[in-house]
């Protein structure tokens, strides 16, 4: 684990169509890290009058072919722009949240531009929660992969990425290869992976937000232990286990949090 980079004073949560209860997320972070962190007032990253402009920016960084690196020039339609706008507004259906992938670094850059200089303040942790699905190129698999979290300035937590990023149980894919429809395979493995609009998503978002906090405090957002909220799950069953069934920090990270609290109390 990296050493402490410095004391961070506050965390601010921003919504970009996630549909998550940011108030409850803030309460979780305050309970977990207070007095080491203070939660500032929450905000909308993209107010209604700016949704159209942000949708056009996202349209420009949309990943069309997950198996091909880079962005291809192509005609852009008004219908596509409207569907992206609905993602930003939190009103898009699951099939659109599943279909639209965006370059992850591009999303971080757009969010940083919206926040202005505030995105680079080292005494404030900015976390953006969105239904837009960021992705990054995986050089091993030679394709873009959806990401549930991108740590940076600001950090991005994606509900769609949490659904589509970690792989579902192996049996789910085998069942589809054996002829089951997607709906039938989903019913067979119900509860073992997240769905869009899943009632478990706020609890998962708590853990992802904690990863963003650790990134800013220590430079290392993840833990190798599968029983820790900071575990970077590659499989849905790992995600559900670490964030829903047994949502806690491992002993090592628990001690680190206590140390942060003691240090802040002495200041």
Between CA 79 and CA 131 the distance in angstroms is 18
User: Global pTM?
Assistant: 0.92
Residue 39: strand, helix, or coil: strand
Which range is least confidently modeled, 65-74, 198-207, 243-252?
A: 65-74
Q: Is the dihedral of CA 94, 62, 107, 88 positive or negative?
A: negative
Please write the tens of the pLDDT for every residue from 170-196. Answer: 999 999 999 999 999 999 999 999 999
Structure token pair of residue 74: 């192509």
CB atoms < 10 A from the CB of 113, how many? 11
Dihedral of alpha carbons 120, 121, 125, 126, sign:
negative
pLDDT in tens, 187-227: 999 999 999 999 999 999 999 999 999 999 889 999 999 99
Nearest Cα residue to 251 out of 227, 215, 216: 227
Q: How far is CA 28 from CA 16, 34, 48, 136, 222, in A?
A: 20, 10, 28, 29, 18
Q: What is the pLDDT of residues 10-61, one digit of tens each?
A: 899 999 999 999 999 999 999 999 888 888 878 999 888 889 999 999 999 9
Domains detected in the chain: 10-266 (3.40.390.10)
């Amino acid at each position: 684990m990296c050493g402490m980079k410095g004391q961070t004073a506050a965390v601010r949560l921003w919504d970009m169509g996630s549909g998550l209860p940011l108030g409850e997320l803030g309460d979780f972070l305050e309970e977990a890290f207070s007095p080491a962190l203070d939660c500032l007032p929450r905000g909308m990253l993209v107010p209604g009058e700016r949704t159209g402009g942000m949708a056009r920016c996202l349209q420009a960084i949309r990943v069309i072919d997950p198996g091909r690196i880079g962005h291809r020039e192509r005609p852009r339609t008004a219908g596509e722009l409207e569907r992206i706008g609905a993602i930003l507004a939190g009103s898009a259906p699951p099939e659109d949240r599943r279909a639209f992938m965006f370059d992850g670094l591009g999303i971080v850059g757009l969010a940083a531009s919206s926040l202005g200089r505030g995105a680079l303040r080292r005494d404030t942790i900015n976390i953006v929660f969105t239904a837009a699905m960021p992705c990054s190129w995986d050089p091993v698999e030679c394709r873009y992969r959806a990401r549930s979290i991108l740590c940076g300035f600001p950090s991005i937590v994606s509900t769609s990425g949490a659904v589509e990023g970690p792989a579902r149980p192996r049996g789910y894919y085998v069942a589809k290869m054996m002829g089951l429809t997607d709906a039938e395979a989903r019913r067979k493995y119900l509860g073992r992976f997240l769905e869009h609009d899943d009632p478990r998503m706020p609890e998962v978002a708590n853990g992802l937000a904690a990863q963003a906090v650790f990134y800013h405090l220590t430079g290392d957002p993840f833990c190798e232990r599968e029983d820790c909220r900071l575990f970077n799950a590659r499989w849905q069953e790992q995600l559900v286990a670490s964030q829903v069934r047994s949502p806690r920090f491992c002993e090592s990270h628990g001690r680190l949090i206590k140390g942060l609290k003691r240090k802040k109390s002495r200041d």
